[in-house]
Amino acid sequence: MKHLIQLASRSAWNRRLTLGLTLAAIAFSTLLLLGVERLRQDARENFALSVSGTDLIIGARTSSVQLLLHAIFHIGATTTNMRWSSYQELSTHPLVAWTIPITLGDSFHGYPVLGTTSAYFEHFQYGHKQALQFNTGAPFKQLFEVVLGAQAAAQLQLRVGAQITLQHGSGDLAHAEHADKPFTVTGILAPTGTPVDRTIHIPIEAIEAIHLDWQGGAPIPGVSISPEHVRKFDLTPKTITAILVGLKQRAAVFRMQRWVNTYPADALIGIMPALALDELWQVVSVVERLLLAVSTMVVIVGLIGLLAVILASLNERRRELAILRSVGASPRDLFILLTLEGLGITVVGALSGVALLTLLTISLSPWLQSHYGLVITLRWLNMNEIALVIGIISIGLLASIIPGYRAYRMSLADGLTPRL
Amino acid sequence: MISAQAIIELRNLHYTWPGQNSPCLVIETLTIHTGERIFLHGPSGSGKSTLLGMLGAVHTPQAGELRVLGESLPTLPATQRDRFRADHIGFIFQLFNLVPYLSVIDNVILPTHFSDRRRKLATPERATVEAEATRLLTRLHIDQHLWQRPVTTLSVGQQQRVAAARALIGQPEILIADEPTSALDAALQEDFLTLLMHECATAGSTLICVSHDQRLAANFDRSIDLATLNHAATRASHSV
């Protein structure tokens, strides 16, 4: 067996160009399949760890997926806000332990600006019920103060004490700057691996303050209210985007949800984060399954290529096989020789795919995190991924049996004199 | 050669290729003795390759007796026939004898991977098979600087001598050469045959050489005309 492996590898090395290309095809298709699978798992895990300990998210009536995406992941937007008075009434509800009001809409260099209260730093939890920690500094106390997520601070190279001006609107649509009202950085949060890292936190009253002299999305011409004068206005917001709610007893969540959904003074919706995520995955899973199906096809195409290359080489190798028979190789030996070639290339190809995945994870994860907030951690293959690799190798083995069998038949028919 | 034992015995042998109606080989009787140098000649289509395939335990006759080294080959299972060929028979073909992706040395030692018997015989006193290969290559006038070369860089004459070294390694009892000189120049043909016969004699191997070139017959102990030996061929040629 050892010398057959040696023969197979030396024969393969002799045809390294064509076989190398086939190997590359298998490596890349493996990378694609494993990459899709890993992104899927990591995205799910990321999303699931982004919020914890929050029993209900309450906002103006919309779809639960939309509210979740907007309030927690700062993706998309909600068309309407909920009233401040609704928030006040909810905060005093006997079932409620704590509330965090949030308002979204502005951005700073592409990072979402979130208006909130100190309750955010006190009650917000992520991962496995972990509270937010400060790397440096402390929560904001004054109106024009700001707390940065770890990544936003690192990317923008801001430290505690730095001054920034916010932009109106978000994303590429952000245009005018709130240049007259600069903010001072008072704290930088420790990394969490969640959207918090990319968020700029300011007091919810500051959102009102910077928009005092604005109307309809633009500064009112000739009207400018200086930061000193702003404090004289009533800065209590009239509307907010959403509230994160913690209950005294988790068991009361359905009662509370019913109360919210039937609240007469405002059209509200209360969602449970885990259920809303499930709903999201149900939508996404169609695409996921499609992606997995496509990448599985790509793997199969790669293996068919391998099969074609080995079968094509078989005719050129007829004499070689006859020589091997004349020195004592049995048809069974030739079967093993050819099967080993295909299997070997599949195994090396699949393992190269895993190696490529590792390389890509190392090189792309900072980019994925900074652009999409997606944390891809370097780790060993999990059972799911190992099953995929074993699946690829098994199909490769099945495919390799075909040239093996043909070599077997050929050597029986040819004997020592190949008919060319 | 009176005391010599029969190494190959054929009686009433019939062989038909799969898918054909009439046999291509019918031999009443043929006996070859140990150490003999046999020249087997006949026109193409006279069944030379078929006969060699049968002596080499690759093809099995449908009827008749075929004993090589006292072993009845047709009754052996396929795996044992492969083992038998690996252990006892060395082959040299007309052209492209060598495995293109192996070096000269690795081509020569190839049979020792498939046969324990030949590996043991090639390595007396804990020597390596490579040492035996270099010994044979030296005796067949293959220079040392060629030993690690890829075989594709060798001339045809050199390739045939490497093939002879491979056929001889591990001292198989029978050496079958199928048109071994037809690709060589006339001057080289004589040299090659002389070398081959000398080495066969040293190893004690019986040599069966097939060729259509009658001029070579003088070098051998006995010459067999397959056209007359094979009754299938005579029948076929009469019917044409």
Question: What DSSP string runs through A270-310?
Answer: EE-HHHHHHHHHHHHHHHHHHHHHHHHHHHHHHHHHHHHHH
SS3 content of chain A, % helix, strand, coil (to 5): 55, 15, 30
Q: Give Dmax (Cα) for chain A.
A: 104
Label residue B115 exposed, middle or buried (CB < 10 Å: 0-12, 13-18, 19+): buried
Are both A215 and A332 inside the same structural domain? no
Structure ipTM: 0.86
Number of Cβ within a 10 Å radius of residue A238: 10
Are both A30 and A143 inside the same structural domain? no
Are both A60 and A43 inside the same structural domain? no
Are both A211 and A239 inside the same structural domain? yes
> In the predicted model, is pLDDT for residue A135 greater than 50?
yes
pLDDT tens, residue by residue, A206-220: 888 877 766 656 666
Q: Are B51 and B64 in contact (CB under 8 A)?
A: no
Mean pLDDT of A69-84: 85
Answer yes or no: is A407 within a domain. yes
Number of Cβ within a 10 Å radius of residue A114: 24
The ranges assigned to domains in chain B are: 6-239
Q: What is the mean pLDDT of chain A?
A: 86
User: How much is the CA Rg of chain A, to the nearest whole Å?
Assistant: 31
Taking domain B6-239, whether its CATH number is 3.30.230.10 is answered by no
Best of B113, B148, B151 to disrupt the A interface by mutation (most A CBs within 10 Å)? B113
Q: Does A57 touch chain B (CB under 8 A)?
A: no
Task: Give which of B9, B10, B15 is closest to B63, Cα–Cα.
Answer: B15
Residue bearing the bigger pLDDT, A168 or B150: B150
Closest CB from B18, B49, B97 relative to A323? B97
User: How much is the CA Rg of chain B, to the nearest whole Å?
Assistant: 18
Q: Does A180 touch chain B (CB under 8 A)?
A: no
Mean pLDDT of A334-356: 94
Number of Cβ within a 10 Å radius of residue B17: 13
> In the predicted model, is pLDDT for residue A134 greater than 80?
yes
Residue A419 sits at φ, ψ, to 5 deg, of: -90, 110
Of A219, A244, A271, the one marking the end of a domain is A271
Q: With CB atoms and an 8 Å threshold, state whether A3 touches B113.
A: yes
Confidence of residue A222 (pLDDT cuts 50, 70, 90): low
Q: Does A5 touch chain B (CB under 8 A)?
A: no
Number of Cβ within a 10 Å radius of residue B138: 13
Q: What are the chain B neighbours of A417 within 8 Å (beta carbons)?
A: 49, 53
Picking from A308-312, A335-339, B56-60, B234-238, which range would have the lowest pLDDT averaged per residue? B234-238
Residue A301 tokens, joined: 């195409």
Are both A254 and A329 inside the same structural domain? no
pLDDT tens, residue by residue, A294-324: 999 999 999 999 999 999 988 888 888 888 9
Instruction: Give pLDDT, residue B239.
Output: 41
Of A271, A294, A328, the one marking the end of a domain is A271
Q: Does A327 touch chain B (CB under 8 A)?
A: yes
Answer yes or no: is A31 within a domain. yes
Residue A172 CA to residue A192 CA, distance in Å, equals 26
| Domains of chain A: total | 2
Closest CB from B87, B101, B111 relative to A11? B101
Residue B161 CA to residue B143 CA, distance in Å, equals 11
Domain that holds residue A231: 56-271
Q: With CB atoms and an 8 Å threshold, state whether A328 touches B102.
A: no
What's the predicted TM-score (pTM) here?
Answer: 0.76
pLDDT tens, residue by residue, A363-415: 888 777 766 667 777 888 888 899 999 999 999 999 999 999 999 988 887 77
The contact set of B with A (CB < 8 A) is 18, 49, 52-53, 56, 58-59, 78-79, 82-83, 85-87, 91, 93, 96-102, 110-111, 113-115, 166
Are both A60 and A41 inside the same structural domain? no
Q: Are A149 and A197 in contact (CB under 8 A)?
A: yes
Of A248, A271, A294, the one marking the end of a domain is A271
